[in-house]
Amino acid sequence: MFLTILNIILPVIFVIFIGYLWNIYNKDFNIVAVTKLVSNIALPCLIYDSITRANLTINIFFEIFFSAFLVLSLGFLFGYFFIKIFKLPSIKLTTPIMHPNSGNMGLPLALLTFGSEGLALAAGFASIVMVSHFTANSAISSGNYSLKKILLSPVLLALLASLIILFYKIEMPSFINSFAKILSGLVIPLVLLALGMSLSKINIKNLKIGLLLGIFKIIIGPIIGLLVVYLLNLDGIVAKVVILQSTMPAAILTYLIASENNSYDQEIGAAVFVSTVASIISIPVILFFLI
């Protein structure tokens, strides 16, 4: 069991560490460009490839979508009460508690733990989290959001197109499937490298607030996952993927969006760093109970 967990978690940690070292010793890497490439092209292709090739019904995907929505909603709710109890300066600090790192870490861990079926479910979960980043996260950080930007989001469009293809059992041309499969292969290595590079850039100034947020995120994540599984009466691989995704540390995108809006980015960056480091211990514990 211990060896199995190591085989799952170590490849992810090593790739993140390569990204961390690369940014320290070689600055020739544009994280912003890579993030845009992944979110606008590679991730939509992964969503399409995973959903259309998975041997899963559309009802299962709706379960995972609603589960992700509930995880985000409960994350915001718990985060709001946490901020009020500890008298932290702003509701904007709820974003790292609300958003798990379901893309950078959740996707590779789901693939290594549960195979292609787990990856398909994790991609569905990550798509809802990604939409939330460009709606709820952006709105909380900046105070406004664009409905047009939401509706034209490549992730949302890919998700809707994939569900239509799945529901109507549409046979797509082979070259489109091959095209999507090739580009989808960019997601996992690029997001892990980008995570490592982003972590190396975070300036841990406000460690006290970041430490509070980061540790709370690691503690509350599995609780939220278990609560959602109980409330929706989930079982099997769907329940396991929901718990695993909920366990992920704070998403790196919360820091990037906060930086764009000059909105408590150092505190949120510290929370991302602390929760990611703490997840090296917490994720193997969760995996022990899931596999």
Q: What is the pLDDT of residues 111-133, one digit of tens each?
A: 999 999 999 999 999 989 988 88
Task: Single out the residue of 58, 141, 59, 161 nearest to residue 98, CA to CA.
Answer: 141
The answer to whether residue 96 scores a pLDDT higher than 60 is yes
**Spatial CB neighbours of 19, under 8 Å, sequence gap ≥ 6:** 192, 193, 194, 195, 196, 197, 199, 200
* Position 256, amino acid: L
- The pLDDT-based confidence of 103 (bands split at 50, 70, 90) is confident
Are the C-beta atoms of residues 225 and 245 closer than 8 Å to each other? yes
Task: Single out the residue of 51, 235, 208 nearest to residue 128, CA to CA.
Answer: 51
| Mean pLDDT, range 161-180, rounded to an integer | 92
The answer to whether residue 207 scores a pLDDT higher than 90 is no
* Proportion of the chain above pLDDT 90, given as a percent: 54
pLDDT at 117: 92
Cα–Cα dist 154/116, whole Å: 22
Domain spans of the chain, in order of start: 2-20+32-290
Are the C-beta atoms of residues 291 and 1 closer than 8 Å to each other? yes
Reported as a single tens digit per residue, the pLDDT across 247-256 is 999 998 898 7
The answer to whether residue 205 scores a pLDDT higher than 70 is no
The answer to whether residue 28 scores a pLDDT higher than 70 is yes
Cα–Cα dist 51/30, whole Å: 30
Where is mean pLDDT largest: 22-26, 28-32, 250-254?
Answer: 250-254
DSSP 137: I
Neighbours of 188 (CB within 10 A): 24
Task: Single out the residue of 227, 251, 277, 243 nearest to residue 114, CA to CA.
Answer: 243
Reported as a single tens digit per residue, the pLDDT across 65-82 is 999 999 999 999 999 999
Cα–Cα dist 152/132, whole Å: 14
φ, ψ dihedrals at 259, nearest 5°: -65, -40
Pick among 1.20.1530.20, 3.20.20.410, 3.30.1490.100, 3.10.20.440: CATH of 2-20+32-290: 1.20.1530.20
Tally helices (H) and strands (E) across the chain.
15, 0
Are the C-beta atoms of residues 44 and 158 closer than 8 Å to each other? yes
Cα–Cα dist 198/192, whole Å: 10
